[in-house]
Amino acid sequence: MGNFIQVHMLTSYPPANLNRDDMGRPKTAKMGGVDRLRVSSQSLKRSWRTSELFQATMASHIGTRTKELGHGVYKKLITGGISERNAKDWAQAIAGSFGKLKAANSKKPEALEELEIEQLAHISPEELISVDALVEKLIKDKKEPVKEDLELLRHPEKAVDIALFGRMLASSPLYNVEAACQVAHAISVHPVVIEDDYFTAVDDLNNGDNDRGAAHIGETGFASALFYTYVCIDKDLLIENLGGDRELAKQAISALLETSIKVAPEGKQNSYASRAYASYVLVERGNMQPRSLSVAFLKPIKGDDFGQDAFVALLKTCENMDKVYEITGVERKSLNAFSGEGKISELLEFARG
């Protein structure tokens, strides 16, 4: 059994469209027989790992997600005096070590699409440094890369986002990294009804002499909700993914926890300014088998005080789980903005262990 850190959050958002479906409507899920508002785990993870807070905290330990590694290598080789033919072949060899490349497009040969990786690749800072060093070597020696050169490109040990959220390349399984962090889809603890926001835009230079109508008319969906969010971190796997660097693992845990508490999904923020901090956070650490507490909201909250009722339901479910499954040896710490109890500094220190 691993050493797990589990995070349970209650976060209330005002009217918003945080995460849209293919029709531009807020995403939903059916749970407990009613419609709930939903924010996908993909949306949450992207908003957290690309946030200024996470980027600033983890600085040089953030990877790059791209298909265009080969294009950058090709340009550097050309600038370094390598012929176009060799530059293309060598760039393909380097980019191809990170995944299957796109097939050549005979209709657009100038686009060099065959330099692009078919699947989005998550590349660590160390791997990018290795790529740059290899390119400089190729320019200096005027020789194509050999197998040993390309094997030097696998160095994900210091990329915190790769260690936390994993890396999967179907065409290059050697580069796969199992995620140390699991993030559930956030769901509202109560039923929701998505409303329609009808809006217009006015032409500032239209004096109304000929046309008094709006310059633009639109419609978008929105809703407000109190969300339950669950995050689970396998600390032992995180340390392993980071090459045994325990201190970096602690920094990663602290950064992810603070970010998940403070950073909202980016959808329609300019339209709704739906920024929010979590109102309640419960952090658990120990060797128990992980479990979500979403069952606390299988019966939707319908009282007059969603925050307090959700808080009570969450703690009661946690207490009952402990009782029936005879759970012991789990340490817990919480932050409660509803009652003003707890401090984020203490919570982050507790999570770091």
Convert the pLDDT of each residue in 74-91 to its tens digit: 999 999 999 999 999 999
* pLDDT value for 202: 78
- What the block records as the tokens of 312 is 């009570």
Domain assignment of residue 206, yes or no: no
Instruction: Answer yes or no: is pLDDT of 110 > 80.
Output: no
Q: Which residues contact 36 (CB under 8 A, 6 or more apart)?
A: 28, 29, 30, 187, 188, 190, 191, 192, 225, 300
pLDDT tens digits, one per residue of 261-298: 999 998 889 888 999 999 999 999 999 999 999 999 99
On whether both 240 and 333 belong to a single domain, the answer is yes
CA angle 41, 291, 232 (to 5 degrees): 45
For residues 103 and 86, give the distance between their C-alpha atoms in angstroms, rounded to a whole number: 18
Domain assignment of residue 211, yes or no: no
On whether both 184 and 298 belong to a single domain, the answer is yes
- Which residues pair with residue 34 across a beta bridge? 31
On whether both 119 and 148 belong to a single domain, the answer is yes
On whether both 49 and 90 belong to a single domain, the answer is no
Residue 129's Cβ-count burial label (10 Å; 0-12, 13-18, 19+) is exposed
Residue 48's domain comprises 4-61+180-193+224-352
On whether both 142 and 42 belong to a single domain, the answer is no
On whether both 33 and 108 belong to a single domain, the answer is no
DSSP label at residue 102? P
Write down the pTM of the prediction.
0.88
Share of the chain above pLDDT 90, in %: 71
On whether both 123 and 15 belong to a single domain, the answer is no
